[in-house]
Amino acid sequence: MPASPRPSVPAPAPGRRGVLRGTLAVLAAGTLGAGALGGCGRVALGGPEEYTPPPPGIDDLYRRDLLVLLERAIAGAEDVADASPAAEEDQALASDLAVLVAALPVQRRALLTGAEQERESEALEDPDPAASTAPAPTDVPEDLAELLALLVELRDLAADSSLQVSGSLARVTSALAAHSAWIALRLRSSSGTGEVPAAPSAEELEPRREVPETDPPSIGAEEDYRTTIERAQQEEWYAGYVHEVLAARTEGRERERHLAQTELHRARAEQLAAAAEEDGAPVVVRQAVYALPGGQLDEATAASLPATLAQGLLLDHLALTGAAPFERRPLSIAAALAEAELLAGHADSMDPLPGLVAEDPPPLDG
């Protein structure tokens, strides 16, 4: 099986809190302008009826709340990175904070609608000095412990939203949840500060909100679901086999960890196979033996395999989350979170939206 490419961290996005506030000001001005036009008086007799926009759908409800958390996180991460004396002395902490500061604006932009992205771009190219100043985010984290708590809140809200939003948005929110899970554990480890509760399991994930009937979410194409669930089965069976091989090469606690991973991956593969059979998708049967990288494992390859497997499985389950029917999503959301947490101890970089480059997520409708 070809190794998954190692994610890379993008260069820090230009601008900091001033840019965020400036672009939010333009969005606010646009909203005020629309409101002013709508308040010019009733339409004359015989004219068109006043337009009443429909209530927001579940996609917009979750998107708004995630943007609020992201704006608080952007402000807090930059303040903590600037003010933390530990970051100047601890390169690991400084690196993790830099990764977070660079990732958050990318994640925020991916959640904007096409119209919002266009207004932000125009604001950066041609700022309007008459635009009103948007209020700064409230309840901004003031230290690492508060920042970690906010990242956990962001992780959990993004995971919850991935259960209920449209497939295209779920692909973005599940990637956001995975990155938040990864960076929160990285920061806790490098700082020795704060608490990071374990990410929710598949059994703990359940719909939290009422879906408005006026604007129901949509799922992806059936062919995408068939393709992604087939690949996820293949990779889970393969991961179970590799960890079994690694267990045979080790002893003590390390052996027990590999055996536990073998059981975990095979259990996931069986659950995926059962779902595939029920849904008429391809069912992948476990093979007795799988090819190993290079035929025989040397020590360096064996040591790198857990991270390589986790990276591949993370991307597989994120893709499946975006393609699967709503009732099939909990397994893959939880699996992606678990693989991201495992990678916190193996990988010092991760894309802001794993599996999606900055240009990949199409602007959301609106």
Confidence of residue 86 (pLDDT cuts 50, 70, 90): low
- List CB contacts of 38: < 8 A, sequence separation 6 or more: 50, 51
User: Residue 131: its pLDDT value, please?
Assistant: 62
Per DSSP, 344 falls in state T
Give the model confidence (pLDDT) of 263-308 as tens digits: 999 999 999 999 999 999 999 999 999 999 877 788 999 999 999 9
- Confirm if 202 and 331 have CB atoms less than 8 A apart: yes
- Confirm if 145 and 194 have CB atoms less than 8 A apart: yes
pLDDT at 30 over 50: no
Confidence of residue 42 (pLDDT cuts 50, 70, 90): very low
- Confirm if 157 and 174 have CB atoms less than 8 A apart: no
Confidence of residue 122 (pLDDT cuts 50, 70, 90): confident
Q: Which of residues 4 and 225 earns the better pLDDT score? A: 225
- Confirm if 66 and 155 have CB atoms less than 8 A apart: no
Cα 107-111-112 angle, rounded to 5 deg: 120
Give the model confidence (pLDDT) of 135-182 as tens digits: 677 889 999 999 999 999 999 999 999 999 999 999 999 999 999 999
Q: How far apart are CA 356 and CA 138, in angstroms?
A: 30
pTM recorded for the entire structure:
0.81
H or E, element range at 339 = helix 329-343
H or E, element range at 153 = helix 144-164
Cα 119-123-126 angle, rounded to 5 deg: 130
Q: Which of residues 59 and 41 earns the better pLDDT score? A: 59
The rounded percent of the chain whose pLDDT value lies above 90 is 65
Provide mean pLDDT across the span 308-312: 97
Q: How far apart are CA 179 and CA 202, in angstroms?
A: 18
